[in-house]
Amino acid sequence: MTDRAELLEATLDSLPEGIALLGEDYHVVFWNRAAATITGYTALDMVGRVAPDSLKPLLECCGSHEESETGSCRAIGHGTLLHARHKLGHDVSTMARLLPLHDGLGARIGSAVVFHPAGCLDALPRGETGESTALETSQADLKDRLESFFEDFTHGGLPFGALWITVDQARKLLTTHGVSACDAMLAKVERVLVQGLRPSEHLGRWGDDEFLVISHERTPALLAAHAQVLAGLARTADFRWWGDRVSLTVSIGAAQAESTETLADLLERAKAAMFTSFRAGGNQITPAPEGHSCLPS
């Protein structure tokens, strides 16, 4: 028979918000799946340990500065805007709130921190050169960057790859709730996905309900692993329309550029891999087969 602890853990793991339970000494005693997706730190990294310096603004600042507007946290509404660091090194802007935990006699036994990615545009990660955020990248700009980066790659530049992303629920939402709901959902997903980008990456809308990420991961395996991080972030998107919460997932095709192919070949492989993920039921990542000769005719 399932005990109460297992039910509680399963419930917390199913939530889209990050949940961290802290003991009196601020050691982490529980770290749910959404917390791992948002920060990059798994439960194995966190439980039973003092938080790494990169996450201390998230796990400690709420407790000591809830009502302040100093340092790296700022109170907004019922949460605090915090800037921590993802395990991969980029900025993670979150809205967090602290919940003191007490036993039946009223004695404090710990704390719970509930957090989710912030939707503030000025808090999103930016490139090292100070260029526009991914949210400001038009399809025309993205196409120009694709061509420029691919040209550099063919002349011995950085490794280059593309992630072709579609939101699995987009077409159904368009049918049941209309264009406004679909556009709002896509904007929400874009804001969440951009939280997981490297500083040198670019993301933009690619078609009516699809996105494209330009990446410089070194190998196909690393590119697919990065796609897993973005897919996990998409599942944390808390999208509501007229009171209805819509659970969102994405299908991703990951293609690493090869010296023997054209840019069109690369994009076609990424698109075909995305459709493979979508037709398999969605919420999946498919690495594109190597070699553009593998493309369907």
In the chain, CATH 3.30.450.20 sits at: 4-119
What lies within 8 Å, CB to CB, of 53 at 6+ separation is: none
**Computed from CA positions of residues 255, 259, 261, 264, in that sequence, does the dihedral angle turn out positive or negative?**
positive
What is the tens place of the pLDDT at every residue in 106-135? Answer: 788 888 888 877 643 333 222 222 333 334
Is pTM beyond 0.95? Reply is no
Q: What fold is seen in the domain 134-294?
A: Alpha-Beta Plaits (3.30.70)
Mean per-residue pLDDT, 187-204: 87
In the chain, CATH 3.30.70.270 sits at: 134-294
Mean per-residue pLDDT, 215-243: 88
Instruction: Please give the CATH architecture assigned to the domain spanning 4-119.
Output: 2-Layer Sandwich (3.30)
What lies within 8 Å, CB to CB, of 289 at 6+ separation is: 269, 273
